Amino acid sequence: MGDTIVEPAPLKPTSEPAPGPPGNNGGSLLSVITEGVGELSVIDPEVAQKACQEVLEKVKLLHGGVAISSRGTPLELVNGDGVDSEIRCLDDPPAQIREEEDEMGATVASGTAKGARRRRQNNSAKQSWLLRLFESKLFDISMAISYLYNSKEPGVQAYIGNRLFCFRNEDVDFYLPQLLNMYIHMDEDVGDAIKPYIVHRCRQSINFSLQCALLLGAYSSDMHISTQRHSRGTKLRKLILSDELKPAHRKRELPSLSPAPDTGLSPSKRTHQRSKSDATASISLSSNLKRTASNPKVENEDEELSSSTESIDNSFSSPVRLAPEREFIKSLMAIGKRLATLPTKEQKTQRLISELSLLNHKLPARVWLPTAGFDHHVVRVPHTQAVVLNSKDKAPYLIYVEVLECENFDTTSVPARIPENRIRSTRSVENLPECGITHEQRAGSFSTVPNYDNDDEAWSVDDIGELQVELPEVHTNSCDNISQFSVDSITSQESKEPVFIAAGDIRRRLSEQLAHTPTAFKRDPEDPSAVALKEPWQEKVRRIREGSPYGHLPNWRLLSVIVKCGDDLRQELLAFQVLKQLQSIWEQERVPLWIKPYKILVISADSGMIEPVVNAVSIHQVKKQSQLSLLDYFLQEHGSYTTEAFLSAQRNFVQSCAGYCLVCYLLQVKDRHNGNILLDAEGHIIHIDFGFILSSSPRNLGFETSAFKLTTEFVDVMGGLDGDMFNYYKMLMLQGLIAARKHMDKVVQIVEIMQQGSQLPCFHGSSTIRNLKERFHMSMTEEQLQLLVEQMVDGSMRSITTKLYDGFQYLTNGIM
């Protein structure tokens, strides 16, 4: 749910360390968390009433254009007529919702979540109770998904299908993989309930359409090929890709739009080439994508893609609106495949740079990065900044992408192309505001942001009239006046007072400046990404912005993305969802655990994109580059033990360690080596690569017996086993575990639904969900939990030395 409208009221009291509410106050540390049984008593009817009103207002806003007149038709939940409801949902969802809202105020205070769930078994007789729950403000998207999944009642499913319309888009988006997986793999009633909402959203957003199409493809891929072809998922995917879900009225809207309101300078004469680029240029890319016989999944994917490309060619006059984006993605993937054929990192890097520079010729275009959280057009890929990431046989790579933010992707026209070197006018050496020679000015001028205001004027020199025979001299300005007499007058000592400087100062400034820039990594041809990732993000943004012809535009943004070709990111997506859920649970329960879920775009069953964690490098890289222990590295980067910077970095380290230890335990994340753990500039650790979770673990390595990775180096950074920070770490783990188990359903649900129809290794075996649930230890007292945490920590510590610790096994399997 996460909605500001409803949430604050019931939750505030629980999360405060109040002595008042009845519950088990097991020790002072634990009092922060209370079990959620008694919480409904604190609902204030007035607050609830207000919240309902707000929801109502919002619904009105959402469907502002539609006149709502049909009041009075009572909602029939018992009516299982799904077909009918589908049509109704599409045509007139607001009316229905409005009904619900009207009743909400009256019913909200009388039901509890648990009560409703119990009564559900009594079926139709108790429907009203269920209805009351559904209509209550407690009914959030998580519950909706849960009922959609668990309910066998077509009526309930249809109702929830309708109800989806009144959740916030962002909230539903989070569960999109679950919704679509249910759509693909569950029975028809569920599918029918979901479809109207999906179709509705596809009509609204091109990005949503793309995500749906990609996910539908990816989650259908585990089906047998014969069933897949005719499956509901495949059909919906085709429907989306065929572009029939394009909003009908959009066409009429388009011509009236004023061209390029967002670009300050868009010399109209340059647009002639770009205008056709969206479709034509990108279509030519499609031939690049060759089939790889070794991978049937890809082949299958390609078949579909190529067939859809043909249709683009046929209906050239009205290009499919998803086509440019899909071609963009496809060419990024094709680059990855080609890189994989090259033997050395150096060759890969060079090839990557030159491939991207060619890709640049086709930008800007009507393409976007789906991992971004705002509407934008991609205008340029600063190709020289791209790096190949460390991988044995595949060639994942990281690119930076310059985009121009816009209000609405569909309606804003594609920005005009600005030639690469256009930057010269605004940023050229001659124009840098540094003509003086004093050191003060020197120091100051560097950070000065050049003034871009006169950009248009600066380029009015395009007029032929001003281009006289000596063209380059057009650019000369005041700086040159100085240079006229510079060389000769350098040493003329007269007229001016001589300025003296101390050699020591120069030397000192040099060492200071190098010390101030956080230790840059050395370039290593075998590890090209280390340097690029180490550079502070803000610094990188500034640098790339300065070097970009689009950099002066106010809506310029820099994004980055890792392109993975040949990797299945569906597990990563699942891990992302779980992490995100845990994060919001911990936030809600005010446990200061820190984790960093990073966005995942599943493109197919063997390709995708990842949003990189900025300002972070792997611990492996840290140790290799710095040749220091982790603690010494902390001291070097943040200062000595007592400094504020070190202490806050240490706190961050502890909070993130605790968070990820829980994640690793709950999700059984394996393959935890230092290359898969990042360290960011603030001291947080971030686990990446969730290739081995739940029921899967790497072969040949035996299994990692410890619950999570906790090395002596980590403990050293925390200040040793006896330090306060280490106790804090354990306490955080306990609080985090208690909070997580309070909301276990929300976590388990995500995993459980995705298991449907899945062949992913993480779902291997039959006990994945049961084991997951068991790891939440619902039946333990908090004292027992505390003991558990102690033992897990101890186990992880001891596994460093003995590697033969099996007490934890006993604990997990025995005590329950």
Q: How far is the CB of 37 from other proteins (least distance, A)?
A: 58
Is the Cβ of residue 83 or residue 510 nearer to other proteins in the bound state? 510
Least separation, in Å, of the C-beta of 488 and other proteins? 8
- Distance (Å, whole) CA 385 – CA 400: 7
C-alpha torsion sign, points 341, 343, 349, 350 = negative
Which CB sits closer to other proteins, 125 or 469?
Answer: 469
Q: Which is nearer to other proteins, 491 or 779 (CB)?
A: 491
Question: Looking at beta carbons only, is 235 or 442 nearer to other proteins?
Answer: 442
Nearest approach, Cβ of residue 733 and other proteins (Å): 41
Q: Which residues are bridge partners to 405 per DSSP?
A: 376
CA distance readout (Å), 763 to 312, 526, 758: 38, 35, 7
What does the alpha-carbon distance between residue 368 and residue 317 come to, in Å, rounded to a whole number?
A: 22
Q: C-beta of 663: minimal distance to other proteins in Å?
A: 34
Residue closer to other proteins, measured from CB, 343 or 373: 343
Tell me whether residue 465 or residue 814 sits nearer to other proteins (CB atom): 465
Q: Is the N-terminal amide bond of 364 cis, ω within 30° of 0? A: yes
Nearest-approach distance from CB 750 to other proteins, in angstroms:
39
Q: How far apart are CA 302 and CA 506, in angstroms?
A: 61
Shortest distance (Å) from residue 313 CB to other proteins: 19
What residue spans of 221-322 are helical by DSSP H? 225-230, 232-241, 250-253, 271-274, 277-285, 296-314
DSSP string, 19-85: S-S-S---STGGGG---TTGGGGG--HHHHHHHHHHHHHHHHHHTTTS------PPP-SS---HHHH
Contacts of 737 (CB under 8 A, 6+ apart): 662, 776, 777, 785, 788, 789
> Which distant-in-sequence residues (6+ apart) come within 8 Å of 237 by Cβ?
212, 213, 216, 217, 220
CB within 8 A of 803, min separation 6: which ones?
705
Using N-to-C axis directions, what is the helix angle for 724-742 and 644-667, rounded to 10°?
A: 40
Q: Measure the CA–CA gap between 437 and 223, rounded to whole angstroms.
A: 71
- 649 CB-near residues (< 8 Å, 6+ apart): 634, 637, 638, 682, 683
> Under the phi-then-psi rule, with left for phi > 0, alpha for psi from -120 to 50, and beta for the rest, what region is 123?
left
- Closer by beta carbon to other proteins, 523 or else 803: 523
The per-residue b/e assignment along 271-291, b for 16 or more CB within 10 angstroms, e otherwise, is: beebeebbbebbbebbeebee
For the CB of residue 566, give the shortest distance to other proteins in the complex, in Å.
17
In the complex, least distance from residue 668 CB atom to other proteins, rounded to whole angstroms: 38
> Between 293 and 490, whose beta carbon lies closer to other proteins?
490
For other proteins, the closer of residues 68 and 614 by Cβ is 614
In angstroms, what is the minimal distance from the CB of 359 to other proteins? 11
CB closer to other proteins out of 349 and 618: 349
Closest approach, Cβ 749 to other proteins, in A, equals 44
CA distance 71 to 553: 50
CB of 360 to other proteins, least distance (A): 10
Q: Which residue number, 54 or 420, has a Cβ lying nearer to other proteins? A: 420
Residue 379 Cβ, how far from other proteins at the closest point, in Å? Answer: 15
Task: Say what angle helices 176-185 and 188-204 make with each other, to 10 degrees.
Answer: 140
